[in-house]
Amino acid sequence: MATIKSDTNYVSCAACEMNALCLPFEVAGKSLDLIEGVLHRRKLIKKDEPLFFAGDTFETFECVSAGSFKLVVPGNPGRVAGFSYAGEMLDAGAMYTGRHCYDAVALENSYVCAISQESVEEISHQIPDFQGRLIRLMSEQLFHVNRLMTLLTGRRKADERLAAFLAGVSIRFQEHGFPAKEFRLSMARDDIASYLGLAKGTVSRVLARFHQQGLIVSSGKYFEIKDIEKLKKLASLPVSFLQQMR
Protein backbone atom coordinates (compact mmCIF):
# COMPACT_ATOMS: atom_id res chain seq x y z
CA MET A 1 0.00 0.00 0.00
CA ALA A 2 0.99 3.60 -0.31
CA THR A 3 3.20 4.79 2.49
CA ILE A 4 1.89 7.58 4.59
CA LYS A 5 4.16 9.94 6.40
CA SER A 6 3.54 9.62 10.12
CA ASP A 7 4.77 13.15 10.77
CA THR A 8 2.47 14.95 13.10
CA ASN A 9 0.00 17.06 11.19
CA TYR A 10 -1.54 20.20 12.57
CA VAL A 11 -5.18 20.92 12.13
CA SER A 12 -5.83 24.30 10.58
CA CYS A 13 -7.69 26.74 12.82
CA ALA A 14 -10.33 26.95 10.13
CA ALA A 15 -11.13 23.27 10.57
CA CYS A 16 -10.88 23.18 14.36
CA GLU A 17 -13.98 22.61 16.45
CA MET A 18 -12.95 25.15 19.02
CA ASN A 19 -12.31 27.98 16.61
CA ALA A 20 -15.55 29.64 17.66
CA LEU A 21 -13.65 30.57 20.80
CA CYS A 22 -10.40 31.60 19.15
CA LEU A 23 -10.86 33.15 15.75
CA PRO A 24 -10.90 36.96 15.54
CA PHE A 25 -14.23 38.73 15.84
CA GLU A 26 -15.80 41.31 13.63
CA VAL A 27 -16.78 44.17 15.92
CA ALA A 28 -18.18 47.32 14.43
CA GLY A 29 -16.79 46.28 11.07
CA LYS A 30 -13.31 45.94 12.54
CA SER A 31 -11.54 42.66 13.13
CA LEU A 32 -10.77 42.26 16.79
CA ASP A 33 -8.50 39.51 18.00
CA LEU A 34 -9.10 39.20 21.71
CA ILE A 35 -7.46 35.86 21.97
CA GLU A 36 -3.88 37.02 21.79
CA GLY A 37 -2.42 36.48 25.22
CA VAL A 38 -5.42 34.41 26.27
CA LEU A 39 -5.16 31.27 24.20
CA HIS A 40 -2.34 28.95 25.07
CA ARG A 41 -1.22 27.45 21.84
CA ARG A 42 0.34 24.13 21.11
CA LYS A 43 1.32 22.69 24.42
CA LEU A 44 3.26 19.48 23.75
CA ILE A 45 2.10 16.25 25.36
CA LYS A 46 4.38 13.32 24.67
CA LYS A 47 3.19 9.89 23.71
CA ASP A 48 1.64 7.92 26.61
CA GLU A 49 1.69 10.98 28.84
CA PRO A 50 -1.46 12.31 30.46
CA LEU A 51 -3.04 15.66 29.65
CA PHE A 52 -5.35 15.48 32.66
CA PHE A 53 -6.77 12.94 35.06
CA ALA A 54 -10.34 12.25 36.09
CA GLY A 55 -11.03 14.38 39.15
CA ASP A 56 -8.75 17.24 38.07
CA THR A 57 -10.54 20.56 38.21
CA PHE A 58 -11.83 21.69 34.83
CA GLU A 59 -10.16 25.04 34.26
CA THR A 60 -9.64 25.30 30.54
CA PHE A 61 -11.39 24.29 27.36
CA GLU A 62 -8.86 22.11 25.59
CA CYS A 63 -8.61 21.10 21.99
CA VAL A 64 -6.25 18.77 20.15
CA SER A 65 -4.30 20.80 17.61
CA ALA A 66 -2.14 17.90 16.49
CA GLY A 67 -1.99 14.21 17.33
CA SER A 68 -4.60 12.25 19.24
CA PHE A 69 -5.74 11.20 22.70
CA LYS A 70 -7.71 8.44 24.30
CA LEU A 71 -10.15 9.00 27.16
CA VAL A 72 -9.93 6.28 29.77
CA VAL A 73 -12.40 5.34 32.49
CA PRO A 74 -10.72 6.10 35.82
CA GLY A 75 -9.83 3.01 37.79
CA ASN A 76 -10.20 0.77 34.71
CA PRO A 77 -7.01 1.39 32.76
CA GLY A 78 -8.29 -1.01 30.12
CA ARG A 79 -11.59 0.70 29.48
CA VAL A 80 -11.40 3.26 26.69
CA ALA A 81 -14.33 5.68 26.61
CA GLY A 82 -13.39 7.58 23.49
CA PHE A 83 -10.78 9.03 21.17
CA SER A 84 -10.09 12.66 20.32
CA TYR A 85 -8.31 13.57 17.11
CA ALA A 86 -6.80 16.83 15.89
CA GLY A 87 -9.41 19.57 15.75
CA GLU A 88 -11.61 18.07 18.45
CA MET A 89 -12.43 19.28 21.95
CA LEU A 90 -11.54 17.16 24.94
CA ASP A 91 -14.06 16.19 27.63
CA ALA A 92 -16.32 19.24 27.31
CA GLY A 93 -18.88 17.54 29.53
CA ALA A 94 -16.55 18.19 32.45
CA MET A 95 -17.52 21.86 32.54
CA TYR A 96 -20.77 20.95 34.26
CA THR A 97 -19.17 19.06 37.14
CA GLY A 98 -16.13 21.30 37.35
CA ARG A 99 -13.96 18.21 37.32
CA HIS A 100 -12.71 15.99 34.55
CA CYS A 101 -14.57 12.73 34.07
CA TYR A 102 -11.84 10.71 32.35
CA ASP A 103 -8.09 10.34 32.15
CA ALA A 104 -6.75 11.74 28.87
CA VAL A 105 -3.63 10.04 27.51
CA ALA A 106 -1.72 11.03 24.37
CA LEU A 107 -1.62 8.26 21.77
CA GLU A 108 1.34 9.91 20.04
CA ASN A 109 3.31 13.11 20.49
CA SER A 110 0.51 15.65 20.45
CA TYR A 111 -0.26 19.32 20.88
CA VAL A 112 -3.24 21.01 22.49
CA CYS A 113 -4.67 24.51 22.48
CA ALA A 114 -6.26 25.71 25.68
CA ILE A 115 -8.42 28.67 26.67
CA SER A 116 -9.37 29.22 30.28
CA GLN A 117 -12.95 29.31 31.44
CA GLU A 118 -12.27 32.68 33.04
CA SER A 119 -11.10 34.13 29.75
CA VAL A 120 -14.25 32.89 28.11
CA GLU A 121 -16.31 34.61 30.76
CA GLU A 122 -14.33 37.81 30.51
CA ILE A 123 -14.59 37.96 26.76
CA SER A 124 -18.28 37.24 26.88
CA HIS A 125 -18.76 40.52 28.71
CA GLN A 126 -17.19 42.36 25.80
CA ILE A 127 -18.62 40.44 22.89
CA PRO A 128 -22.38 39.88 23.10
CA ASP A 129 -22.46 36.98 20.68
CA PHE A 130 -19.56 35.17 22.25
CA GLN A 131 -21.63 33.03 24.58
CA GLY A 132 -23.90 32.18 21.69
CA ARG A 133 -20.88 30.68 19.96
CA LEU A 134 -20.10 28.61 23.00
CA ILE A 135 -23.69 27.41 23.22
CA ARG A 136 -23.63 26.22 19.63
CA LEU A 137 -20.28 24.60 20.30
CA MET A 138 -21.69 22.66 23.23
CA SER A 139 -24.71 21.61 21.20
CA GLU A 140 -22.35 20.37 18.51
CA GLN A 141 -20.50 18.26 21.04
CA LEU A 142 -23.80 16.91 22.27
CA PHE A 143 -24.85 16.09 18.77
CA HIS A 144 -21.62 14.21 18.10
CA VAL A 145 -21.74 12.13 21.22
CA ASN A 146 -25.38 11.24 20.62
CA ARG A 147 -24.53 10.06 17.13
CA LEU A 148 -21.67 8.07 18.42
CA MET A 149 -23.78 6.42 21.02
CA THR A 150 -26.40 5.45 18.50
CA LEU A 151 -23.70 3.87 16.41
CA LEU A 152 -22.10 1.91 19.20
CA THR A 153 -24.91 0.85 21.47
CA GLY A 154 -27.77 -1.44 20.69
CA ARG A 155 -27.43 -4.98 19.45
CA ARG A 156 -24.65 -4.74 16.95
CA LYS A 157 -22.38 -7.34 15.49
CA ALA A 158 -18.60 -7.03 15.41
CA ASP A 159 -18.67 -6.21 11.67
CA GLU A 160 -21.18 -3.43 12.13
CA ARG A 161 -19.21 -1.92 14.98
CA LEU A 162 -15.93 -1.88 13.11
CA ALA A 163 -17.52 -0.61 9.93
CA ALA A 164 -19.17 2.19 11.89
CA PHE A 165 -15.88 2.95 13.61
CA LEU A 166 -13.90 3.16 10.39
CA ALA A 167 -16.54 5.17 8.55
CA GLY A 168 -16.76 7.49 11.54
CA VAL A 169 -13.03 8.03 11.71
CA SER A 170 -12.96 8.76 8.01
CA ILE A 171 -15.67 11.40 8.35
CA ARG A 172 -14.03 12.97 11.37
CA PHE A 173 -10.72 13.30 9.57
CA GLN A 174 -12.42 14.82 6.56
CA GLU A 175 -14.23 17.36 8.74
CA HIS A 176 -10.95 18.56 10.14
CA GLY A 177 -9.13 18.80 6.86
CA PHE A 178 -7.20 15.54 6.81
CA PRO A 179 -7.23 12.81 4.14
CA ALA A 180 -10.38 10.76 4.64
CA LYS A 181 -9.38 7.65 2.73
CA GLU A 182 -5.85 7.10 3.87
CA PHE A 183 -4.75 7.59 7.43
CA ARG A 184 -2.82 6.31 10.38
CA LEU A 185 -4.68 5.22 13.51
CA SER A 186 -2.41 5.82 16.45
CA MET A 187 -4.21 3.65 18.96
CA ALA A 188 -3.48 -0.03 19.65
CA ARG A 189 -5.82 -2.84 18.65
CA ASP A 190 -6.53 -3.30 22.33
CA ASP A 191 -7.81 0.26 22.57
CA ILE A 192 -10.08 -0.14 19.58
CA ALA A 193 -11.32 -3.44 20.96
CA SER A 194 -12.07 -1.99 24.39
CA TYR A 195 -13.79 1.00 22.86
CA LEU A 196 -16.02 -1.12 20.63
CA GLY A 197 -16.70 -3.75 23.24
CA LEU A 198 -14.84 -6.51 21.39
CA ALA A 199 -11.78 -8.68 22.00
CA LYS A 200 -8.46 -7.77 20.43
CA GLY A 201 -8.53 -10.97 18.40
CA THR A 202 -11.96 -10.19 17.00
CA VAL A 203 -10.80 -6.76 15.84
CA SER A 204 -7.83 -8.36 14.11
CA ARG A 205 -10.00 -10.99 12.41
CA VAL A 206 -12.69 -8.59 11.24
CA LEU A 207 -10.08 -6.19 9.84
CA ALA A 208 -8.50 -9.13 8.00
CA ARG A 209 -11.90 -10.03 6.57
CA PHE A 210 -12.57 -6.43 5.49
CA HIS A 211 -9.17 -6.43 3.82
CA GLN A 212 -9.93 -9.70 2.06
CA GLN A 213 -13.30 -8.36 0.91
CA GLY A 214 -11.64 -5.32 -0.59
CA LEU A 215 -13.27 -2.82 1.76
CA ILE A 216 -9.99 -1.61 3.17
CA VAL A 217 -6.28 -2.10 2.85
CA SER A 218 -4.62 -2.17 6.22
CA SER A 219 -1.12 -2.75 7.40
CA GLY A 220 -0.43 -2.21 11.05
CA LYS A 221 -1.59 1.26 11.99
CA TYR A 222 -2.06 2.41 8.40
CA PHE A 223 -5.45 2.19 6.78
CA GLU A 224 -6.73 2.86 3.32
CA ILE A 225 -10.49 2.99 2.78
CA LYS A 226 -11.33 1.30 -0.50
CA ASP A 227 -15.12 1.19 -0.38
CA ILE A 228 -16.56 3.76 1.99
CA GLU A 229 -20.07 3.18 0.69
CA LYS A 230 -20.05 -0.49 1.53
CA LEU A 231 -18.62 0.30 4.95
CA LYS A 232 -21.42 2.73 5.67
CA LYS A 233 -23.90 0.16 4.47
CA LEU A 234 -22.35 -2.44 6.75
CA ALA A 235 -22.71 -0.01 9.65
CA SER A 236 -26.41 -0.28 8.76
CA LEU A 237 -27.65 3.08 9.90
CA PRO A 238 -29.45 5.85 8.04
CA VAL A 239 -27.03 7.80 5.88
CA SER A 240 -28.00 10.96 7.73
CA PHE A 241 -26.51 9.40 10.81
CA LEU A 242 -23.11 9.04 9.29
CA GLN A 243 -22.86 12.26 7.38
CA GLN A 244 -22.05 14.41 10.35
CA MET A 245 -20.93 11.72 12.71
CA ARG A 246 -17.82 11.60 14.75
Partner DNA sequence: CGCATTGTTGAGCCGCTTCAACTACTGTGG
Partner DNA sequence: CCACAGTAGTTGAAGCGGCTCAACAATGCG
Closest distance to its own copies from the beta carbon of 188 (Å): 16
Which entry of DNA, its own copies, none binds 76, CB below 5 to 8 A by partner kind? its own copies
Closest distance to its own copies from the beta carbon of 236 (Å): 8
**Interface contacts to its own copies, rule CB under 8 A:** 54-55, 73-76, 79-82, 91-97, 101, 121, 124-125, 128, 131-132, 134-136, 138-150, 152-156, 193-199, 237-238, 240-241, 244
Site string for DNA, 157-196 (x = CB under 7 A): xxx----------------------------xxx------
Structural contact between residues 83 and 188, judged by C-beta atoms closer than 8 angstroms: no
Cβ-in-10-Å burial (0-12, 13-18, 19+) of 231 comes to buried
107 binds DNA (CB under 7 A): no
SS3 track for 180-229: CCEEECCCCHHHHHHHHCCCHHHHHHHHHHHHHCCCEEEECCEEEECCHH
Which entry of its own copies, DNA, none binds 50, CB below 5 to 8 A by partner kind? none
Closest distance to its own copies from the beta carbon of 4 (Å): 29
- Residue 224 pairs in a beta bridge with 182, 217
Length of the chain as a residue count = 246
* CB of 203 or CB of 228, closer to DNA: 203
Of the CA atoms within 13 Å of residue 128, those in its CB half-sphere come to: 2
Which entry of its own copies, DNA, none binds 241, CB below 5 to 8 A by partner kind? its own copies
Structural contact between residues 191 and 73, judged by C-beta atoms closer than 8 angstroms: no
Q: In a 3-state reduction of DSSP, which class is residue 119?
A: helix
Which entry of its own copies, DNA, none binds 75, CB below 5 to 8 A by partner kind? its own copies
Closest distance to DNA from the beta carbon of 55 (Å): 25
CA 60 – CA 90 distance, rounded (Å) = 10
203 binds DNA (CB under 7 A): yes
CA 89 – CA 112 distance, rounded (Å) = 9
Structural contact between residues 125 and 70, judged by C-beta atoms closer than 8 angstroms: no
Using the rule CB under 7 A, give the single segment among 23-31, 84-92, 151-159, 174-182 that binds DNA.
151-159
Closest distance to DNA from the beta carbon of 216 (Å): 11
- Footprint of DNA (CB under 7 A): 155, 157-159, 188-190, 197-205, 207-208, 218-221
